[in-house]
Amino acid sequence: MSEFLETDYDRVKRVRTALPPEGLFEHKEWRISPSALELSAVQIEQLENLGSRLLVFQKACNLLYRQSVAGKAPAWVAEWLDAGKPPELVQWSRHGSIKTKIPDVIRADLVMTETGWALAEIDAVPGGVGLTAWLNETYADLGEKVLGGREGMRDAVNRLLPNHDVVIAQEGAAYRPEWEWLLGKDRVKSAEDYHWNGHPIYRFFEAFDWPNLPGLRESGHPESPMTPPLKPFLEEKMWLAMFWMKPLRDFWRSELGERYWKDLQQIIPESWVVHPEPLPPTAVFPGLNANSWGEVAKFSRKERDLILKVSGFSELAWGSRGVVVASDVSNAEWERAISEAVQAFPKQPRMLQRFVKGKVLQHPYWDEDLGEIRVMKGRARICPYYFVEEDKAVLKGVLATICPEDKKLLHGMKDAILVPVKSAI
């Protein structure tokens, strides 16, 4: 008797059939693949080890801010991180009862390059938790050996949020379906009309939304049970620039340890905070070899392997909004972008980062228009999800977003393939 051989078309059909009737994202689509993205044993080991490094880094960031506030570290650290934030929120984030708390879910946004990984940012309020749980369950049912296991994401969420309400602001409403699929509609609440009654909540809104949530502001207190803690300074991208600052080098080496410090140097691209304070005539920005932001603004297109980002506390700081790829804009547009970044600092800091080009890979997907399986050349953003359990960052799932190779910004889009990550069987 011949053994049944499942075709790629059959597998795509099973994935599509498994989709929840109400979807996982509001008004969002992606390309479906018959298989997960396979990584090498070395790549998987690197992802598994990265969690401990990011956890220690997050703790060090939190400590550095506290020391800055207390006068035990440079005052400008806290000043830069608090720039543009309401005093009420700054005071909340400094409350003694939450001083050591950091996010319980850490998601890294990694670009897969020819030489390894590049860390674009660390997301403290990550989307895609429900999606990644669904992908792991669905592709595990196809026989794929997904990282984190079939139930890894779901089990981790249930341990972290045994009875929490997930409170979502309108800004992140597109992610509401994935949380409703994962936890049920009765546990997913709108942040705009939520009032605290002592019930623990999972905060699925960015800190910049806080001023727009009167119910939470009136009924909440730093001691109210909430995860991740409301610490807007931890949501700033500029931490990756501070990692490279020479005045802070001894702190990082001491708190991270020599090994972790060197490991993070290998994956964090060179980054700079766009601060308006002028440099002495004999000084230059390390790595840019420029004495002023005016000189950076005059860089030629070939010199501009750079990306400009809003650092945080803004609706432009997530979803690849508020991002300028320097080599993609005209000289005039680049000069204007740098000028606006310098002028915006007191209210809305921006950071500059070395642009990292992703490795081109090939992956199959279902072409809805042609009704056939095709292979796409693309570049991958890899998002490992680490859950902090007993003071350890444990990898529970990995989301791969494979974008067409001509895309510079790698994020969820209609033309992207979204799949879990697997190891070789």
Domains within the chain, CATH numbers bracketed: 8-238+359-423 (no CATH), 270-354 (3.30.1490)
Phi, then psi, of 326 in degrees rounded to 5: -60, -40
- Cβ(253)–Cβ(261) below 8 Å: yes
**Per-residue confidence (pLDDT) for residue 2, from 0 to 100:** 36
What pTM, to 2 d.p., does this model score? 0.95
Q: Residue ranges of the alpha helices (H) in 209-271?
A: 214-219, 239-242, 249-267
Helix axes 41-69, 249-267, angle to 10 degrees: 160
Taking residue 299's Cβ as centre, other Cβ atoms within 10 Å add up to 19
Q: How far apart are CA 166 and CA 77, in angstroms?
A: 32
* Cβ-proximal residues to 378 (8 Å cutoff; 6+ apart), any chain: 360, 361, 362, 363, 402, 403, 404, 405, 407, 416, 417
All residue ranges of the chain with pLDDT < 70 are 1-5, 316-321, 425
Phi, then psi, of 389 in degrees rounded to 5: -130, 120
Taking only the tens place, the pLDDT of each residue in 112-167 is: 999 999 999 999 899 999 999 999 999 999 999 999 999 999 999 999 999 999 99
**Per-residue confidence (pLDDT) for residue 322, from 0 to 100:** 76
Q: Which residue, among 137, 157, 118, 141, has the nearest Cα to 386 in the 3D structure?
A: 157
**Per-residue confidence (pLDDT) for residue 28, from 0 to 100:** 81
Taking only the tens place, the pLDDT of each residue in 19-62 is: 999 899 887 889 999 999 999 999 999 999 999 999 999 999 99
Question: Which phi-psi region, left, alpha or beta, contains residue 292 (left: φ > 0; alpha: ψ -120 to 50)?
Answer: beta
Q: How far apart are CA 411 and CA 388, in angstroms?
A: 25
Pairing of strands 306-310, 226-227: unpaired
